[in-house]
Amino acid sequence: MANTKNNDSKGNRAPLFRPMNYILMAAGFVLLIIGFLCLRGGAVEDPNTFNGEIFNSTRTVVAPIMMFLGLALEVVAIMWHPKAKKQEESNIE
């Protein structure tokens, strides 16, 4: 009896992630990479000199926003669960 439950549950389960989930995950990953790339640069050869380039708006505003949006999109991608049209139509009939 326990074996039939396991067989039914394995055979009738929908996939955990659908193609839209993977597309959203990839977009979130791209946003994260862009955010980290925006943080690059600003290094100086002489540590005793000050370089004001480290405080530009790309590093202090744009990069954190891009990384936050990337992380938020990853959460949405994991939680997204669209309803299948075929299942809805079969439930109506």
* Interior/surface letters 61-81, b for 16+ CB within 10 angstroms, e for the rest: eebeebbebbeebbeebeeee
pLDDT at 3 over 60: no
Q: Please write the tens of the pLDDT for every residue from 68-92.
A: 999 999 999 999 887 766 655 555 6
Give the per-residue pLDDT at 51. Answer: 84
Q: Please write the tens of the pLDDT for every residue from 42-69.
A: 788 888 888 888 889 999 999 999 999 9
Q: Please write the tens of the pLDDT for every residue from 10-45.
A: 667 878 899 999 999 999 999 999 999 999 987 888
Give the per-residue pLDDT at 22. Answer: 95
Give the per-residue pLDDT at 81. Answer: 86
Q: Are 24 and 80 in contact (CB under 8 A)?
A: yes
Give the per-residue pLDDT at 43. Answer: 80
